[in-house]
Amino acid sequence: MRSLRATLCGLCVLLAVCLFAAPGSAQSWATIPADELKLTSVPGFPGASAILLFRDSFTDNVDDFENEHFRIKVLTDAGKKFADVEIPFVREALDITTLKARTVQPDGTAKEYNGKIFDKMIVKRGGVKVQAKVFALPDVQVGTIIEYKYRRRWPATELPATRWRLQHELFTRRAHFSIRPYPELSLAWVLVRLPPGSIPKEKFGRLEYDIENVASLQAEDHMPPEDEESMRIDFFYRRNEETAEKYWKNTGKKIYDIYEDFIGKRKGIQTAAARMVAADDDPEKKLQKIYAEVQKLRNLSLRREMTEKEEAREKLKDAQNVEDVLKNGYGYPRDLNLLFVALARAAGLEAWMVRLVERNEAFFHANVPDAGQFTSSLVGVTIDGKPAYLDPGYAFCPYGLIPWQKTDVGALRPLRDGAEIFQMPSADQRASFVTRQASLQLDENGLLRGTVQLTFGGQEALRVRRDAWFSDDTARRKDLEDNLKGWLSQGATVKLANVGNWESSEFTLGAKFEIEIPGFGTATGRRRFASLALFDPGYARAFRHANRIHPVYFDSAFGEQDDIALTLPAGYRMESLPQPRKIQAPFGTFERAYKLDNNVLRLQRVLTITGYFFPVEHYPVIQRFFNTMKTQDEEPVVLQAGAN
């Protein structure tokens, strides 16, 4: 293939020379339009520090290089930092072969950069050096245009994937992207978050795309994975105009063969399954028993990071099949899931592997024929004629729970004759909750003290256990105490009394604390005001901004329940109790009620959020929901000093 490619390259030399002299070239500077010289601000973004006036990005998959050209105008002092340029490269692998830079002052005076360009060492190991070309353009003032361009070359043996990220850290006024495809394969592309109807156009053997007035990508609390929110075009090569549908079918067959080869029908597995389950166990019972047995094996995803010398000394054995996994007593999550499938089948059950995307990183794009999207796996089983999903390869995951990042995502079931692309079921709020039960006393000086029983459920318990895996008991206790302290008001002291089993796959994890809060509530001459909604996870703060750019994205649906009992101090009487409250929204509810029984005041509070993804246009409703909840939480009980 390379020889044909070389011939094609040779034939294109003349054309290439002509093309490379275009604006993407590293040979000359184009005249800067008068309007760019005059520009002093970014329309719609007053106070912006700088603007990317023009970007020209050209990728050549025939001659193995790319040209990048940036023209940035400094608009405020803060924007001068863009005159410090750092371009990473790897000598002889991703080399910078041409680099030119200049400054242009508002009056049009241009000055070529002739100063030193340093090769800064980023990292060097053995014979490999990752470096960066660094330089600082001189005499950069507000109004100066900074312009630089470079060519980056890679070895002719590579055909790297191309992704055009259309958003820069600055507002982009105008950008031109182009690619000269490798001719022996068919180039296809996928557009993500581009304006409707906007597609790359073919011109002189290149694909070109122009875009104007693109805002920078800004991060927000509770937003979807950043890649899914950024405008981009992904290119990929395919053979013979293969459709995505056909690609997934072929891929499914290939994965199926690999998996079935690994699973096989092995005597050792049959024996092990017979040992694990009883013949009269119902299917669910059998699955639970096998699940528990597989989870007892060492999960290598929880292995600490080792140096190469430790790896060499540990001499982990490769598993060629599921029987090896069982014999070794350890495996990576996919190996463990494959073993589970084999054992389940040996126990007479229907089980299969599922490949899927983890939505904490990215979403599935069915039209992108790239099996690399599927970074994870789990197991499908049939129970009572219906499919169900289990993840024994995910350490500490309780039976029946799917880690949130694997719910409601695109998935692939490999089949003998193809693939089934489907959507994993979503999980409801019962799969992710926190409950807090408190029994507290208030003294006449405003000191609140007592115990709090905290229970993490489902996803929350799973998260806490996995986060704690690499910590020792001292750190785990401190983390739990800090977690609770973070929900309480300033000055609270928290001491963990006891905690449940850290290293299990139980659905819940409980912990009991002793707490003290001095100066609880506020006092006037005769009264003390206090809200019993002690625990504030900070939702309202996450949505404090009036404007929102991205959708609101939680990990999963979730719930919270508080049950707080407060024994009042002697000599105080209740003057006023807040009314019961309820907020009902399409995506959740909040209910809160106070009750006084003798001198024990009780608050019950329930929050339920039934979804996890909310388009940006729903933001005002979300914001209002959580703000109202906070306001209602803050409604105080009024105690009055005096006779009961």
Partner 1 sequence: MTPPSVLRFLRALALVCSLAACVPAASAAAPDWVRALARASLPAYPAETRAVVLLKEETVVVRENGDVQTVHRRAVKILRPQGESEGAVVVFFDNDTKLNSLKAWSITSQGQEYEVKEKDAIETALLQDSLYEDTRSKVLRIPAAVPGSIVAYEYEQKDRAAMYQHLWWLDEDLPVVSARYTLQMPPGWEYSTVWRNQAGQAPAQTGPNQWTWQFQSLPAREHEAGMPNWRAVASRMAVNFYPAGQPRGKAQRSWDEVGVWYAGLTAGRAEANPEIRAKVQELTAGKSETLDKVKALAAFVQAGIRYVAVEIGVGGYQPHPASSTFAARYGDCKDKVTLLRAMLSEAGVPSYYVLVHSARGAVSPQFPSMGFDHMIAAVALPQRLPDGFAVYEHPKLGSLTLFDPTDRSTPFGWLPDNEQAGHALLVTPSGGETIQVPVAPPNMNRLLREGRFEVQQDGTLAGSVKELRWGQPATDQRQLWNEAADAAERRKRLESTLSSTVGTVLLESAVAEGLTATDGVFQLSYKLAAPAYAKRTGPLLLIRPRVIGSKATTLNDQKPRKYPLDLGSTGFQTDVYEITIPSGYVVDELPPNVDAVYPFAEYHSKSTVEGKVLRYQREYQVKQVEVPAEQVPDLRKFSSRILADEANSAVLKRQ
How far apart (Å, rounded) are the C-alpha atoms in residues 615 and 182? 39
38, 239, 275, 309: residue in contact with partner 1 (rule CB under 8 A): 309
Nearer to partner 1, 264 or 580 (CB): 580
SS3 122: strand
CB of 232 to partner 1, least distance (A): 9
CB of 337 to partner 1, least distance (A): 25
> Within 13 Å, how many C-alpha atoms sit on residue 608's CB side?
15
CB of 587 to partner 1, least distance (A): 19
- Which residues between 461 and 520 bind partner 1 (CB under 8 A)? 470-472, 474-475, 485, 490-491, 493, 518-519
Give the rounded distance of the alpha carbon of 604 from its chain centre: 34
How far apart (Å, rounded) are the C-alpha atoms in residues 217 and 192? 14
- Which residues between 59 and 118 bind partner 1 (CB under 8 A)? 66, 68, 70, 76-78, 80, 83-84, 86-88, 90, 93-94, 115, 118
542 near 553, Cβ under 8 Å?
no
CB of 461 to partner 1, least distance (A): 21
**Using CB under 8 A, which of the segments 121-129, 202-210, 385-393, 598-606 binds partner 1?**
121-129
Nearer to partner 1, 32 or 136 (CB): 136
- Which residues between 578 and 617 bind partner 1 (CB under 8 A)? 578
**Using CB under 8 A, which of the segments 22-30, 129-137, 324-332, 395-403 binds partner 1?**
129-137
SS3 46: coil
Nearer to partner 1, 443 or 634 (CB): 634
**Using CB under 8 A, which of the segments 186-194, 316-324, 600-608, 623-631 binds partner 1?**
623-631
Applying CB under 8 A, does 125 fall inside the site for partner 1? yes
Nearer to partner 1, 46 or 196 (CB): 46
Give the rounded distance of the alpha carbon of 107 from its chain centre: 46
Closest CA to 73 of 49, 46, 51: 51
How far apart (Å, rounded) are the C-alpha atoms in residues 190 and 365? 9
Query: What's the token pair of residue 240?
Result: 């013979």
Closest CA to 539 of 407, 633, 408: 633
SS3 226: helix
How far apart (Å, rounded) are the C-alpha atoms in residues 64 and 160? 9
Q: Is 469 exposed, middle or buried (0-12, 13-18, 19+ CB in 10 A)?
A: middle
- Which residues between 12 and 51 bind partner 1 (CB under 8 A)? 42, 45-49
Nearer to partner 1, 133 or 355 (CB): 133
Question: What are the CA-CA distances from residue 474 to residues 23, 119, 516 (Å)?
Answer: 61, 45, 21
551 near 613, Cβ under 8 Å?
yes
Query: What's the token pair of residue 205?
Result: 């053997």
Query: What's the token pair of residue 466?
Result: 């996995």
CB of 597 to partner 1, least distance (A): 19
Residue with tokens 């998260």: 463
1, 14, 279, 312: residue in contact with partner 1 (rule CB under 8 A): 312
How far apart (Å, rounded) are the C-alpha atoms in residues 82 and 436? 50
Helices 473-487 & 459-468 angle (0-180, nearest 10): 130
425, 621, 634, 644: residue in contact with partner 1 (rule CB under 8 A): 634
SS3 236: strand
Nearer to partner 1, 343 or 540 (CB): 540
How far apart (Å, rounded) are the C-alpha atoms in residues 512 and 439? 11
Nearer to partner 1, 76 or 504 (CB): 76
Per-residue x/- track, 530-559, partner 1 (CB under 8 A)? ----------xx--xxxx------------
CB of 304 to partner 1, least distance (A): 7
Applying CB under 8 A, does 134 fall inside the site for partner 1? yes
Nearer to partner 1, 68 or 408 (CB): 68
Nearer to partner 1, 384 or 472 (CB): 472
- Which residues between 332 and 371 bind partner 1 (CB under 8 A)? none
Nearer to partner 1, 119 or 184 (CB): 119
Q: Please provide the DSSP assignment of 339-358 as one string.
A: HHHHHHHHTT--EEEEEE--
How far apart (Å, rounded) are the C-alpha atoms in residues 345 and 340? 8
Total residues interacting with partner 1, rule: CB under 8 A:
94
Q: Are strands 330-331 and 298-299 parallel, antiparallel or unpaired?
A: parallel
SS3 188: strand
CB of 264 to partner 1, least distance (A): 30
313: left (phi over 0), alpha (psi -120 to 50) or beta: alpha
- Which residues between 148 and 207 bind partner 1 (CB under 8 A)? 152, 160, 163-165, 167-168
CB of 541 to partner 1, least distance (A): 7
CB of 556 to partner 1, least distance (A): 26
311, 443, 467, 514: residue in contact with partner 1 (rule CB under 8 A): 311
107, 139, 212, 241: residue in contact with partner 1 (rule CB under 8 A): 139
Nearer to partner 1, 212 or 314 (CB): 314
Nearer to partner 1, 280 or 318 (CB): 318
CB of 94 to partner 1, least distance (A): 5
- Which residues between 407 and 466 bind partner 1 (CB under 8 A)? none
Provide the terminal-to-terminal Cα distance of the chain, rounded to the nearest Å: 93
The Cβ of residue 280 has, within 10 Å, a number of other Cβ atoms equal to 7
How far apart (Å, rounded) are the C-alpha atoms in residues 630 and 605? 12
| Residues contacting 256, CB < 8 A, separation 6+ | 414, 415, 416, 419
Applying CB under 8 A, does 2 fall inside the site for partner 1? no
365 near 190, Cβ under 8 Å?
yes
Nearer to partner 1, 134 or 421 (CB): 134
- Which residues between 224 and 283 bind partner 1 (CB under 8 A)? none
**Using CB under 8 A, which of the segments 257-265, 279-287, 300-308, 405-413 binds partner 1?**
300-308
CB of 314 to partner 1, least distance (A): 10
CB of 152 to partner 1, least distance (A): 8
Residue with tokens 């979730």: 558
Nearer to partner 1, 194 or 244 (CB): 194
**Using CB under 8 A, which of the segments 245-253, 331-339, 410-418, 632-640 binds partner 1?**
632-640
Nearer to partner 1, 327 or 541 (CB): 541
How far apart (Å, rounded) are the C-alpha atoms in residues 487 and 307? 39
CB of 148 to partner 1, least distance (A): 11
Closest CA to 319 of 254, 268, 385: 268
CB of 250 to partner 1, least distance (A): 27
How far apart (Å, rounded) are the C-alpha atoms in residues 576 and 25? 76
